[in-house]
Amino acid sequence: MTRRSDNGAVEKLSQFLTPQHLRQLKFAGVVTVMTLLCGIFLWYLFAPKPAPQQAGTGGYNVTIPEATVKPAETDKRKVYEQEQYEQQRREKLQSLGDVMDDRLPVTGEMADATVPAAPTAIDESDAAYRRISGEMAAFYTPAPYTI
């Protein structure tokens, strides 16, 4: 503690403040300053920043392409080849459909043409489930209710 004889206020203040009080005040001051610095730093980090607006957009995101519109092909040769491929594919499907129509049995023949198919894993699983359910139902039959 420094005591100045010319300044009576410091002398009066030092009479009321003990070294413990001065440490407590110093600690409170440091904590206050650090809290303010932390708060300013956090505000600077997370403060909302206004998004820059481009002229004419009006807040809409115009950079996202539409899902239904195909981009225009710039190479005419690729477009022509793609059209030829699609045409050949359609012709193959059409001819395959015509062939299958000729080979499909008529409704009268269909009843005779059905061959029992070999049981699949799903059919076997279903049969096992039904068998186990029947056994469980037979085992856990409730006793007759008597009064």
Q: Do 11 and 3 meet the contact criterion of CB atoms below 8 Å apart?
A: yes
Distance in angstroms (rounded) separating the CA atoms of residues 53 and 62: 12
Give φ, ψ of 70 to 5 degrees. -80, 140
Residue 83 has pLDDT above 80, yes or no: yes
Q: For the segment 92-122, what is each residue's pLDDT rounded down to a tens digit? A: 888 777 766 666 655 655 555 555 677 788 8
pLDDT for position 1: 47
Q: Return the ∠ at Cα 78 (arms to 76 and 82), rounded to 5°.
A: 115
